[in-house]
Each structure stands twice: as C-alpha cells, then as structure tokens.
C-alpha cells in the first residue's frame, strides 16, 4: 500500500511558480492570481493584447499539471458540436455512438473566445457552471478538476462577438499580463533563442493532489466580520451612482473563496480584510457594467475599497500559523 506523502500548500505553490516562470518571465503576482484561481476551481479569462503570453500561460499551466489538456481555436464558423461532441450512427453496432468533443478534458483553452458566435459561446455555459455537458438529452459529467481558460483581445472589435454578461460572470477572475520590462523582454528572447521553453516544464501536481489542495481552501476560517465586510463591498457596487449593473451573489462567493485561497498560500489561519482588498479588482471588475464608458471599473472599485469601513480584526498579528499545515496526499 502506498504511503501518503507530506506536503504543504506553500511548497507546492513555490514549485509551481518555478515551473511556470520557465515560460512566463517577470509576472509573479499574476501567476499567484492564477494559482488562487486554480485552487478555487474557477475559470479564468485572460484579456490582453496579442503576443503578450496569454496562450503561453495557459499551456504552461496545463503542462505543469498531470492533467489532460485540449485547445479550441475559436472562429466565427465554430459550432456547439465542435465543442461538446456529436452522436453518430455506427453501422456495425446499428446504434448511435457519442464522440466526445474537446470540452471533455481537465484544462480547456478557448483561444480568442470572443471570435466565435454567441451560439458556440453558450455551449460552454453548462460546462462552466455545472461541469456537465448535455447532448441528445443525455447529461455527461466532466472531470472534477475541469477548468476553462479563455483568452480575448480587448481592443480588437472587427469580427468579434462580445461575451454576454451571463458568461462573463462565470469566469472566476479576469487578469492581464501587460508588457514586459526591457530586461524581462531580453530574457524572453534569450529563452526562445535555441529551444522551446515548454520542453523544460515539469509536471508538479496530479488531479488527486490538486483536489486535496482545493479542499484545504475551504478549511480556512472566515470571521463573521469578514463575511459582513465582503457583503458591504458587494452592496456598494449595486448602489453606486456610476455603476449600472453591480456584482451578483456569485461574485461575492468568488471573492470569499479567493480570499481563503490567498490566506492559505500566505500561511495564514484565517482571512483578513487585506486579503480581500487585494483580490477585489481581479475577481469583481469584469462583473460590473458602468453607466459611462469614461468611468473605469478598476478605479470605481478602488474608491469603494477606500470608502467602505474595514472591520477591526482581533489578534491580527496572530494570523500567521505557528507551523505551515501539511496535507496527506497519496501519489
């Protein structure tokens, strides 16, 4: 019988970051957000300009995990069946046989998701919300660790179909990478000069270990004051004069889970207001609609953070654990 091995969330994060940074240079905070998204079983929207590493990040994430990975190149002629699969008639068995589509995987990369039609985009809604796919009136389960990573270009509008609000709300986070610094760009060129950086990325986590980490997130303690603080932040987005559509309850749950994952990765025994504040923008900004295009979602959220009273947390200095928790994981 295989004996369980001892490991810690912090050590696994550090190992994952080392592997991801073999392909993504100079973005430790962004990679940390990706890790939080992964621990919360969320779907990730990478929104950035072309050539900044969106697809590279998705591929590096998949390669570091001992999970299946498939990619959909979204185009205007993509059909829902191209995503979910189709039933065909087998002449030998004289019966219909289901051919699963690329959605039946652990990590699904939907590249340039806003280039495909709303009909095809909607084929992902059930998969993202329920982790199931219904074809020909039969519902099939997706893996427990199923995750969608979608990319889109925020400034190119020709030949694109904006994501409906219902689908945008299904994404746990929206993040961007941004341009690299000159020194970082030089490293990127050197790294790609002779070999493909993906060749050196090693697999760190399998599905069983990942599910154990995701379960550990739910054990991080939430004080009632912290829950009330999250509720106050969310309510402020619904009553703000410049916001037409505020954050849904799905957004408040996402912010709560993200703060738990952040606390776990920082070796903290419970969530503090600081953990919530640092995650407000990546978790909530894409879930709001402004009344005017001149107002920035990020700026309004920053104002809400500044004006919302922060609860006093007793024993804040004791939020650090005396020893980092270990997880029993069977390899």
Residue 327 confidence (pLDDT) above 70 = no
Between the CA of residue 192 and those of 22, 27, 178, 187, 196, what are the distances in Å? 11, 17, 19, 9, 6
Distance, in Å, from the CA atom of 286 to the CA atom of 299, rounded to the nearest integer, reads 13
Between the CA of residue 303 and those of 176, 233, 250, 309, what are the distances in Å? 21, 11, 22, 12
Q: What angle separates helix 224-239 from helix 249-265, to the nearest 10 degrees?
A: 140
Judged by DSSP in three states, 156 sits in: coil
Distance, in Å, from the CA atom of 258 to the CA atom of 271, rounded to the nearest integer, reads 10
pLDDT at 159: 67
Backbone angles phi, psi at 254, to 5 degrees: -65, -45
Q: What is the mean pLDDT of the chain?
A: 85
Two structure tokens written together for 182: 């000159």
pLDDT at 7: 61
CB of 102 within 8 A of CB of 78?
no
pLDDT digits (tens, 9 = 90+) for 120-146: 888 888 899 899 998 888 899 999 899
Domains delineated in the chain: 10-193+203-213 (3.40.50.300), 219-312 (1.10.8.80)
Q: Within its chain, how far is the Cα of 42 from the centroid? A: 5
Residue 83 confidence (pLDDT) above 90 = yes
pLDDT at 157: 63
pLDDT category at 5 given cuts 50, 70, 90 is low
Residue 29 confidence (pLDDT) above 60 = yes
Quick one: average pLDDT of 276-282?
Answer: 95
Quick one: average pLDDT of 45-57?
Answer: 83
CB within 8 A of 131, min separation 6: which ones?
A: 141, 142, 143, 144, 146
Residue 100 confidence (pLDDT) above 80 = yes
Beta carbons within 10 angstroms of residue 223's beta carbon: 15
pLDDT digits (tens, 9 = 90+) for 172-211: 999 988 888 888 888 888 877 777 777 788 888 888 888 8
Helix spans in 176-330 (H): 182-194, 207-217, 224-239, 249-265, 273-277, 280-284, 297-307
Q: Which H helix or E strand runs over 81?
A: helix 80-84
Residue 292 confidence (pLDDT) above 90 = no
Please name which of 97, 114, 106 lies closest in space to residue 46, comparing C-alpha atoms: 114
pLDDT at 147: 93
């Amino acid at each position: 019988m295989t004996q369980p091995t001892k490991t810690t969330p912090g050590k696994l994060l550090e190992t994952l970051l080392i592997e991801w940074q073999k392909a993504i240079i100079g973005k430790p905070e962004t990679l940390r957000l990706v890790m939080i998204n992964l621990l919360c079983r969320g779907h990730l929207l990478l929104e950035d300009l072309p050539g900044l590493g969106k697809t590279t990040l998705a591929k590096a994430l998949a390669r570091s995990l001992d999970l299946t990975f498939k990619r959909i190149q979204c185009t205007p002629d993509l059909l829902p069946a191209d995503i979910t699969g189709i039933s065909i008639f087998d002449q030998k068995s004289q019966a219909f046989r289901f051919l699963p589509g690329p959605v039946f995987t652990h990590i699904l990369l939907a590249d340039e998701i806003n280039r495909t039609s709303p009909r095809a985009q909607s084929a992902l809604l059930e998969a993202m919300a329920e982790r199931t796919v219904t074809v020909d009136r039969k519902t099939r389960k997706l893996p427990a660790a199923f995750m969608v990573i979608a990319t889109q270009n925020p400034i190119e509008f020709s030949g694109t179909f904006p994501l409906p609000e219902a689908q945008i709300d299904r994404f746990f986070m929206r993040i961007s990478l941004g341009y690299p610094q000159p020194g970082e760009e030089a490293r990127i060129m050197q790294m790609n000069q002779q070999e493909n950086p993906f060749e050196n990325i090693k697999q760190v986590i399998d599905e069983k270990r990942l599910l154990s980490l995701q379960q550990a997130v739910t054990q991080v303690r939430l004080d009632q004051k912290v829950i009330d603080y999250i509720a106050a932040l969310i309510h402020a987005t619904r009553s703000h004069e410049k916001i037409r559509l505020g954050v849904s309850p799905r957004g408040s749950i996402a912010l709560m889970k993200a703060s738990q994952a952040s606390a776990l990765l920082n070796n903290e025994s419970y969530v503090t207001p600081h953990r919530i504040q640092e995650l407000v923008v990546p978790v909530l900004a894409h879930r709001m609609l402004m009344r005017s295009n001149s107002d920035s979602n990020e700026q309004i959220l920053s104002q809400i953070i500044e004006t919302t009273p922060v609860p006093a947390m007793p024993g804040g200095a004791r939020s650090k654990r005396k020893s980092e928790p270990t997880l029993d994981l069977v390899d």
